[in-house]
Structure 1
Amino acid sequence: MKNFELFLTETGISIFYVKIGLGFLFSFLITYFSVPTIIKISRRKNLMDEPGVRSSHMRKIPNLGGIAIFYSIGICTSIFAYELFDLYKFLFASLVILLYIGVMDDIVVMRAYKKLVAQIVVSALIVIGSDIRIRSLFGICGVYQLSYFVSIIFTIVTFIILINAFNLIDGIDGLAGSYSLICCALFGVSYYRLGEYNYPLVVLSGIIIGAVLAFLYYNLSNYRTNKIFMGDTGSMLLGFLLAFTAICFIDIFIDKDLPNVPKYHLQSAPVIAVAILILPIVDTLNVIIIRLCNKKSPFDADKNHIHHKLLKLNLTHRRSTFYIIVYYLFIVTAAYCLRHTNINLLLLIILALGFLGAYLPDFIYVLRNNKK
Structure 2
Amino acid sequence: MNETHPSLEYLLVACVAAAFTFVLTPIARRMAIRWHALALPRDRDVHAVATPRLGGLALFAGFGLALFLAARLPSLNRSFASGPDMPWVVIAAAVICALGVLDDRYELDSLTKLAGQILACGIMVTLGGVQLALFPLGGSTVSLGRDLAIPITILFALLIINAMNFIDGLDGLASGVTVIAASAFFVFSFHLAKAGFTDVSAAPTLLAAALAGACAGFLPHNFWPARIFMGDSGSMVVGLVLAAAATSATTSADPQAFDSALGSLAFYLPLLIPLAVLALPFIDLLLAVVRRVSRGRSPFAPDKQHLHHRLLELGHSHRRAVLLLYFWSALVAFAGVGVSFEHEQWLVVGSLAALAVIGLLLSIVPGIRRGSRRRAARRRVEAASSASPPSTSPPSTSPQSR
TM-score (norm 2): 0.75
Alpha-carbon offset, residue 76 of structure 1: 1.4
Distance 1:21 1:327 in 2: 25
Is contact 1:163-1:235 (8 Å) kept? Answer: yes
Alpha-carbon offset, residue 35 of structure 1: 1.4
Q: Paired residues, what number?
A: 340
Alpha-carbon offset, residue 302 of structure 1: 0.3
Alpha-carbon offset, residue 28 of structure 1: 1.7
Is contact 1:309-1:362 (8 Å) kept? Answer: no
Aligned-partner SS, 1:194: helix
Alpha-carbon offset, residue 332 of structure 1: 3.4
> Aligned residue for 2:199?
197
Moved more, 268-277 or 315-324: 268-277
Alpha-carbon offset, residue 247 of structure 1: 1.0
Alpha-carbon offset, residue 323 of structure 1: 0.9
Is contact 2:161-2:240 (8 Å) kept? Answer: yes
Alpha-carbon offset, residue 128 of structure 1: 2.2
> What are the residue-to-residue correspondences of 1:100-111 with 2, within 5 Å?
100-111=98-109
Alpha-carbon offset, residue 138 of structure 1: 5.8
Moved more, 198-207 or 19-28: 198-207
Distance 1:186 1:337 in 2: 10
1:231 aligns with 2:231: yes
> Aligned residue for 1:246?
246
Moved more, 307-316 or 156-165: 307-316
Alpha-carbon offset, residue 268 of structure 1: 2.6
> Aligned residue for 2:60?
70
Moved more, 117-126 or 63-72: 117-126
- Amino acid in structure 2 at the alignment position of 1:302: D
Distance 1:287 1:45 in 2: 31
> Aligned residue for 2:12?
22
Distance 2:112 2:189 in 1: 35
> Aligned residue for 2:221?
218
Match of 1:80 among 32, 55, 70: 70
Distance 2:339 2:24 in 1: 43
Alpha-carbon offset, residue 145 of structure 1: 4.3
- Amino acid in structure 1 at the alignment position of 2:199: Y
Aligned-partner SS, 2:300: coil
Is contact 1:255-1:263 (8 Å) kept? Answer: no
- Amino acid in structure 2 at the alignment position of 1:242: L
> What are the residue-to-residue correspondences of 1:320-339 with 2, within 5 Å?
320-336=321-337
Q: Deviations over 1:237-294 (max 9, x none)?
A: 001111111111211345279xxxx998632334222111101111100111111222
Alpha-carbon offset, residue 166 of structure 1: 0.6
> Aligned residue for 1:119?
117
Aligned-partner SS, 1:197: coil
Is contact 1:275-1:332 (8 Å) kept? Answer: yes
1:38 aligns with 2:28: yes
Distance 1:146 1:53 in 2: 45
Distance 1:46 1:294 in 2: 34
- Amino acid in structure 1 at the alignment position of 2:221: Y
Q: Deviations over 1:328-365 (max 9, x none)?
A: 3333354456568xxxxxxxxxxxxx9xx99x979985
RMSD value, Cα: 3.4
- Amino acid in structure 2 at the alignment position of 1:307: H
**Structure 1, unaligned runs of 5 or more:** 1-8, 341-353
**Structure 2, unaligned runs of 5 or more:** 72-76, 343-355, 376-402
